[in-house]
Structure 1
Amino acid sequence: MADNFKAASIFAAPAFSHLVGWLLAQSLKRLQLKTSLAPVLVLTGGLAIFGLAQPVHTSGFLAPYLAAVTIGATRLQARPDVQHFFEGTAWLAQIVLFVMLGLLVTPHELPPYLPGAVMVRRC
């Protein structure tokens, strides 16, 4: 039974993701959204795909990725706006990531690692 479930989910994930991605791309084409609302629809669609993947027994991480590939392969009028929004979001996520990593550093515990860091830097 478990092998059948895994085999079914291997084929269900791309089919589900492609279908939902195609539906989202078609809705972006047909709806006359303001340029500022298209990225919101794509973001909401990605979160909805993530949430809908569990009841369909597919990967919640793979489904939005494959749907995004499908949407990205579609010619959309709002593509530059969506791309600009997600580039800004990626920069913001990187900033938050490095601030959080910086908060984890304890300065008084760094001196033992200093000689090794200097040697690596010189190489």
Structure 2
Amino acid sequence: MKTVLVVDDDSVMRTILNRVLVKGGHQVLLAGNGVDALQVAEKAVPDLILLDEQMPVMNGSELVRLLRERMSRVPPIILIGGEASQADLETLGVAGLAPKPFDADALLELVSRLLGLR
């Protein structure tokens, strides 16, 4: 079972993503902000991170940069929402982009592909 860290300041979105990922057979870790996400990622080292781009205090792009500075191995990251271009994704080193609102089946397909499950 692969572990996915979900980072979103919206508790409803975290709950929805948790349900979708658990139904897809994944273990889920949750964080409501970038600071908590850093702590969780450094301790648990998830296999993939689903990250909201637009959060207060620390946005998704800032969190990606900090993860790259502080972790020896950064898992694939899917950016949720936001208006990132393909160039932005490549600059950040983000593996994928999921729009908000998201399609559960499409998100699970992307997660499975990045985890090497399909």
Q: Same fold (TM over 0.5)?
A: no
Quick check: which one's strand share is greater? 2
**Structure 2 length-normalised TM:** 0.29
Structure having the higher Rg: 1
TM-score, scaled to structure 1? 0.28
Which of the pair has the greater relative contact order for Cα pairs under 8 Å at 6+ separation? 1
